[in-house]
Amino acid sequence: MAQIVLNNGHLYTLDFIRPNQIGKSCRLDEIKMIIEDMAQENISGATVKDEPGLTKMGNLKLNSFSVGFNSKTEKYSITIFFDEVPQSEIDLAKERAETEAVSHFIALGLQNAEIKDVIKWSKFLEDWKPRKFPYKKGERFKFGGNPYEVVEAVTSSENSTPDKDDKHYKLLKASENSQDKPKVEIKPWNEKTTYSKGDLVIARGIVFISRIDNNKGNEPGFGSAWDYYKEK
């Protein structure tokens, strides 16, 4: 019987396989897991074994599925249907994801950057949230296209916009002295770099802080060498 090895390493033995369709016997409690496994990033380009003329799946995304029950064998079966995805759509999705990741990284860095840099790259700051959103002292955002900083913790209100509430917010200007908020450089994690306790890195779009000295080869998010960084 044909087998398919998904990009996440999971292997399935199939009842049948076609370029845009697969079928498999299963238990009822397996159906949810199978459907979740058939995400585009797992199925597109997946390896096919023991099926003449078909060694790899194309660029696919899940369209629909159907579940049947054989009363004689008392077994369930699932048939999954896929749509072919143009390579241009795959490339566009990757480009969009990369752009969003870069924007997120820049936005994180702007929370600790020099004011002149915040002003220059203010388009990457998040927009001010007007409906009862809690802001901590030191947080930065943009309002009306201009960069602002929270000077006193506050819960936002539509009736008290940053341009009218100088008790809680201040407009960042190039003439201001930015030494009161030192620049903290956050670089992507590198397995070959040795980090000290308190060093910040970014991995998978998340900022981590080292909990130990001589921290080398420990991937953030796994083990106890790193912790999620929470800005004070």
195 in Cβ contact with 181 (< 8 Å): no
CA angle 92, 96, 98 (to 5 degrees): 115
Task: Using only the alpha carbons of the chain, give its radius of gyration.
Answer: 25
140 in Cβ contact with 114 (< 8 Å): no
Which tokens hold the place of 174?
């190039």
Q: Give the C-alpha separation, 23 to 17, whole Å.
A: 6
Say if strands 187-188 and 226-228 run parallel, antiparallel, or are unpaired: unpaired
- From first to last of its 232 residues, what are the pLDDT tens digits of the chain? 899 999 999 999 999 999 899 999 998 889 999 999 999 899 999 999 999 889 999 899 999 999 999 888 888 999 999 998 887 877 777 777 777 767 776 777 888 888 888 888 888 889 999 988 999 999 999 999 899 999 999 999 999 999 999 999 999 987 654 444 445 568 889 999 999 988 999 888 788 999 999 999 999 988 889 998 876 5
Q: What residues pair up with 62 in beta bridges, in sequence order?
A: 82
151: left (phi over 0), alpha (psi -120 to 50) or beta: alpha
Q: Give the C-alpha separation, 182 to 81, whole Å.
A: 54
For 142-153, letters b (16+ CB in 10 Å) and e give bbeebbbbbeee
Residue 143 CB partners (closer than 8 Å, separation 6+): 127, 128, 161, 162, 163, 169
Q: How many CB atoms lie within 10 A of CB 187?
A: 12
Domains of the chain plus CATH, in order, are 3-85 (no CATH), 92-171 (2.10.10), 186-232 (2.10.10)
Q: 232: closest CA among 112, 121, 113? A: 112
Q: What residues pair up with 60 in beta bridges, in sequence order?
A: 84
pTM of the model: 0.41
Which tokens hold the place of 97?
């994801």
Which tokens hold the place of 94?
């990757």
